[in-house]
Structure 1
Amino acid sequence: MARLALSTARTWAQAPHALRIGIIYLVARVTTTAFLLLAASLSTASSRFGADPGLANFIVGWDAQWYWLVAESGYPTELPTTESGEVAENAWAFMPVFAYASKAIGFLFGSWGVGAFLLSLIAGYFACLALHRSLCGRIGSSAATWAVVFFATGPIAAMFQVGYAETLFLLLLFLALDATSRRNYVLLYLLIPIMAFTRPGILAFALYLGLHGVLRWWHRQEDPLSGREVTHIIVLGSLATATGFAWQVIAGLATGDSGAYLATELAWRRHWVAGGVEGFVPFEGWIQASQFWFDFWGMPQWWGPVVLALLVVAAGVALLYSPQVRALGADVRLWSVSYLLYLLAVFFPQSSTFRLLLPLSPLWGAAAVPRARAWRFGVLAVCLLGQWLWIYHVYALGNTFWQVP
């Protein structure tokens, strides 16, 4: 028995990493499918999906409906309004790349949902490969493989199998982070525009490029920085910034309302803020949300901003001083700081918060650094438990405001 186990371990270690990650990914997807089937069996008439939904209902459920609407009907040239005259939720909140790419793939099968499922599934596998590649040189192949395990089985792993743009964006992001860390700046000229029109977040990448450039300049003695590289970093940062605001300009030109995009995004926030929202103010969303949630939980509202400040400090300390995080390299840490600052500036934290944290997935490498087997399997167990709880609340129950993925 011991000889068989040793032979199996040797065969596994010698297999191409693409095959090993493929097997891990397949097992993870089978597990997620089992969770989704169980959620379907527990769904009732009070759920958004009704009694006995099929997996297809989950694939095109929630925000996938908006991507489908974009693919089928495009974007409105006249913003819809509520009875009170405010801008209502509409398709301008959803970027076009995933919607139309899913339509192109789905054309072969006569179904947008099939196209969205295949795009998410396949992009997820290549995202796992890209994550392994970006982490392997920093923390070793074994730890990088475990990071992929945690990523593929994590609490929001259902995104690999539903009609959301998340996994496509993550693939592009991991490729972009890896290209930056390897000084392959030319590749970013292709990746940045596609990322910008896949889902929001490219402005965080613009900040990351700026910080990356500052760090390279600071260490230019031991890590020479050529004039060509300086030019690339400046131009790419400008490109990321320009494309980050481009969707707002496009929405404004198409609708004749320069504030169309921000008004559309705020349409979702109005459901959470008593008295409505006057306009977009950077960083205001987190303060409002912290007060809302603590009041909702029956605690003093002023606790919310205090706890928020403590969480920000704790995250900063972890990114700066945690040896497990430091092992991931400067680029992962700079990206994490940039994306967290971006979320703090523009996001209103609610039930989608966990999904919005997916771009921080390179930090799974920090959880994989400790080599103790008990630790790694413990993290895996927490991932699977979190995944089931998320799927159960979002898909089996899914009938109230805090269950929107």
Structure 2
Amino acid sequence: MAERELTARAAPPAAARAALVVAAIYLGARAVTTAMLVVAAELSGYGSRMGPDAELTDTVVAWDGSWYWLIAYSGYPTELPLTESGQVAENAWAFLPLYPHLAQLVSLPFGSWAYGAAIVSLVAGYGASVVLYHLLRPRLDHRAALWAVAFFAAGPLAALFHVGYAESLNLLWLFCSLWCVLHRRYGWLYALIPLMAFTRPGVLAFSLFLALFGVWRWATRSREPLPVAEVVHIVLLGLLAAGAGFAWQFIAGWITGVPDAYLATELAWRRNWVPGDAAFVPFEPFLAGIAFWFGTMWNLPVQLGYAALAGAVVLIAAALLFLPQVRRLGVELRLWSVSYLVYLLLVFFPQSSVFRLLVPLSPLWGAFAVPRSRLWRASVLVVCLVGQWWWIYNMYALGNQTWQVP
């Protein structure tokens, strides 16, 4: 009896053991990704985004990493840059400030922003992996939750845990926020929502999620009591997320003196694919993207693209509503997935960055981990690694085509 008590006292708590196992999975995945990035840098040539003689640190500041580096060192322009035709040019206002400045702070002992950015991305990615485990654990057994973490850590977009992008940090805030909703710990969300809002665009999707979650809580209040305090929290947090989602637009307009500075800046990137200066209208970017890819790039009927979009919407809705592996994850994670996909349909111009923009749906990796077959889980992991190399090779070793933009 005394021996059992001593053993129980000596054993680390379940949360600590889970964190250690997740750390082992995460470190193994990071070693594989590092090797892939090193090979991509070696393969980078004159036509590549990084050019010849690229090194591992060049991958950190490639693409959007260069914009975050610029923000850390020189901030945001008070006057919007213009193209020769008088249109707003690409500029730093498209990127939010928390990640680059945090990376700059961390980089101080190393003298290089790239080191700080890599550390923030790596540490935040580990934190997100731990929180993802606890987010899925109430619905999945220990082994399945760990497999979901493995798919997440080694997934096709796993290079984001290494490079100067804000995704890792945003995923940490997002997973913590979803955990808070799942466990009805609303107080922390008053801090987490602003953190999300100033790390990556997308907090408006969280506002929609809270609205749908509130409707669901009201409809099921007979099964789970709905106190007045919880109603107040959900309403206030939904309004906070909506206000925070528009805050950056107001800040950009106030500092530059151009009310639509943020939207005009975002549209500047769209001109890389579609010339012209269109005004932003919800859902129009997605339709314009379909017309571009099906009509201009692939020489296919645009109606076929619209039909494909409608079919994809029906299939995704059916999967979220009826697929047992997805239903197993619970209503909260499915409502988040719906909210985020609706947000993308409303604001996103579809191009190769769509793969990166789907990363906030990572809790759905839990559905791939539900089947207990070792062959299935091993096969999913292999597909993740193959997809990861495909993405790294195309976006970093090459990166010279319109569809090779991360």
TM interval, shorter chain, is: over 0.9
Q: CA deviation at 1:402?
A: 1.5
The amino acid that maps onto 1:205 is F
| Structure-to-structure mapping, 1:382-397, within 5 angstroms | 382-397=383-398
2: CA distance between counterparts of 1:42 and 1:112? Answer: 24
After superposition, give the CA deviation of every residue in 1:204-231 in whole Å (9 maximum; x if it has no partner). Answer: 0000011111111111111001011111
In the alignment, structure 1 residue 370 sits paired with structure 2 residue 392: no
Aligned partners of 2:44 and 2:50 also within 8 Å: yes
State the partner residue of 1:88: 89
Runs of 4+ aligned structure 1 residues displaced above 3 Å come to: none
State the partner residue of 2:209: 208
Q: CA deviation at 1:42?
A: 1.6
1: CA distance between counterparts of 2:118 and 2:223? Answer: 46
State the partner residue of 1:8: none
Q: CA deviation at 1:323?
A: 0.6
After superposition, give the CA deviation of every residue in 1:144-169 in whole Å (9 maximum; x if it has no partner). Answer: 10000000000000000001000000
Aligned partners of 2:104 and 2:116 also within 8 Å: yes
Q: CA deviation at 1:252?
A: 0.5
Aligned partners of 1:291 and 1:303 also within 8 Å: no
State the partner residue of 1:231: 232
Secondary structure (helix, strand or coil) at the match of 2:174 reads helix
Q: CA deviation at 1:80?
A: 0.5
The amino acid that maps onto 1:302 is Q
State the partner residue of 2:176: 175
Q: CA deviation at 1:286?
A: 1.2
Q: CA deviation at 1:201?
A: 0.5
Q: CA deviation at 1:140?
A: 1.4
Aligned partners of 1:106 and 1:114 also within 8 Å: yes
2: CA distance between counterparts of 1:308 and 1:277? Answer: 25
The Cα RMSD (Å) is 1.2
2: CA distance between counterparts of 1:110 and 1:39? Answer: 25
State the partner residue of 2:7: none
Count residues with an aligned counterpart.
392
2: CA distance between counterparts of 1:161 and 1:328? Answer: 28
Secondary structure (helix, strand or coil) at the match of 1:133 reads helix
2: CA distance between counterparts of 1:277 and 1:256? Answer: 19
Which 5+ residue runs of structure 1 have no aligned equivalent? 1-10
State the partner residue of 2:354: 353
The amino acid that maps onto 2:48 is S
2: CA distance between counterparts of 1:148 and 1:304? Answer: 34
2: CA distance between counterparts of 1:39 and 1:110? Answer: 25
In the alignment, structure 1 residue 163 sits paired with structure 2 residue 164: yes
The amino acid that maps onto 2:222 is Q
1: CA distance between counterparts of 2:75 and 2:53? Answer: 31
2: CA distance between counterparts of 1:58 and 1:298? Answer: 34
Q: Which moved further from structure 2: 211-220 or 395-404? A: 395-404
Aligned partners of 1:368 and 1:376 also within 8 Å: yes
1: CA distance between counterparts of 2:238 and 2:213? Answer: 10
After superposition, give the CA deviation of every residue in 1:266-285 in whole Å (9 maximum; x if it has no partner). Answer: 111122124x1320011111
State the partner residue of 2:285: 285
Q: CA deviation at 1:301?
A: 2.3
| Structure-to-structure mapping, 1:6-405, within 5 angstroms | 16-274=17-275, 276-295=276-295, 296-405=297-406
Secondary structure (helix, strand or coil) at the match of 1:46 reads coil
Question: Residues 308 and 277 from structure 1, CA distance in 2 versus in 1: closer, same or farther, beyond 3 angstroms?
Answer: farther
Aligned partners of 2:124 and 2:168 also within 8 Å: yes
Q: CA deviation at 1:305?
A: 1.2
Q: Which moved further from structure 2: 305-314 or 92-101? A: 305-314
1: CA distance between counterparts of 2:282 and 2:273? Answer: 17
Aligned partners of 1:102 and 1:115 also within 8 Å: yes
Aligned partners of 1:204 and 1:342 also within 8 Å: yes
State the partner residue of 1:4: none
After superposition, give the CA deviation of every residue in 1:31-77 in whole Å (9 maximum; x if it has no partner). Answer: 00111111122211111111231000001111011111111111111
Aligned partners of 1:39 and 1:396 also within 8 Å: yes
After superposition, give the CA deviation of every residue in 1:106-140 in whole Å (9 maximum; x if it has no partner). Answer: 11211111110000000000100000000011111
Aligned partners of 1:319 and 1:326 also within 8 Å: yes
Identity of aligned residues (%): 58
Aligned partners of 2:72 and 2:100 also within 8 Å: yes
TM-score relative to the length of structure 1? 0.95
Q: CA deviation at 1:400?
A: 2.3
The amino acid that maps onto 2:255 is A
2: CA distance between counterparts of 1:99 and 1:29? Answer: 22
Aligned partners of 1:319 and 1:333 also within 8 Å: yes
2: CA distance between counterparts of 1:181 and 1:330? Answer: 9
Which 5+ residue runs of structure 2 have no aligned equivalent? 1-10
Secondary structure (helix, strand or coil) at the match of 1:138 reads coil
The amino acid that maps onto 1:376 is R
The amino acid that maps onto 1:283 is F
2: CA distance between counterparts of 1:103 and 1:44? Answer: 29
State the partner residue of 1:6: none
TM-score relative to the length of structure 2? 0.95
